[in-house]
Amino acid sequence: MSQSSPQEVMICAAAREIRDGEVVFVGMRLPMMAFAVAKRLYAPEAVAYYECGIVRETVPEEMLFTLADPPAYRGAGWATQTTYLLGQMAAGRVQLGLIGGAQIDRHGNLNTSRIGDGDHPLVRLPGGGGATDFACLAHRTIIAMPHEKRRFVERVDYITSPGYGEGGDWRTRQGLPRGGPSAVISTLGLLRFDEGGEAYLASYHPHSSAQEVVDNTGWDLAVASDVTATPAPTEEELAVIREYDPAGFWAGG
């Protein structure tokens, strides 16, 4: 089997989360690549909503560097406005949103707003964009991000995109109609959430280990009793990725 990069492992893990027939809000980088793999191999009837307002039932013929590149419009089913697609999400018509963040905590809350104190932050981040809508209104979300202790923290400095809040029935008490994260796909492993809304390690990537994931997490991360290695990318998955991204711009090591 061909050697795979950590990014390719993440892409394939995300692609396997997409179910056939789902409407998926697709972002740049890993989400875009994951949708391409899923569409070819696992979910031929899935539909992509691109954040810039494009609806596609097919993968663009050329790789995209931004979601508004001309190939994204060629063959699209609908070229509209982002607000219209967010309205579809509010109506419950989007099953999956793929998002990322700068910080995440044990309950899947994401921070893309600021690092440090609210009055005098050390770093100002770009904000949530549509990710806050995804986190509140999609039926579920998949989070993808680098796995570092400074990013995987006990409590995020600011909740930009809510996960399970403080755990338990927090989302219901906030009036959120559906959703929450179902998985976190990091550069080291795959985390899922228990009934109380707390993350646990479900699998570690082939280039990592359960101990490495735990050591790089800023809280006492629970580990599943049946934790195992994330399945390595198959030859078929790698072929799709490398056909779509031959130079490894998004998927390279």
Distance CA 51, CA 130 (A): 7
Tokens of 187: 């550069």
Residue in 8, 22, 51, 237 annotated catalytic:
51
198 is catalytic: no
What are residue 140's DSSP bridge partners? 96
Q: Which amino acid is at 100?
A: G
Q: Which amino acid is at 198?
A: E
Helix (H, G, I), strand (E, B) or coil at 218: coil
Which residues lie below 8 Å from residue 248, measured CB to CB, with a gap of 6+?
Answer: 5, 242
Tokens of 192: 């899922």
Return the active site residues: 51
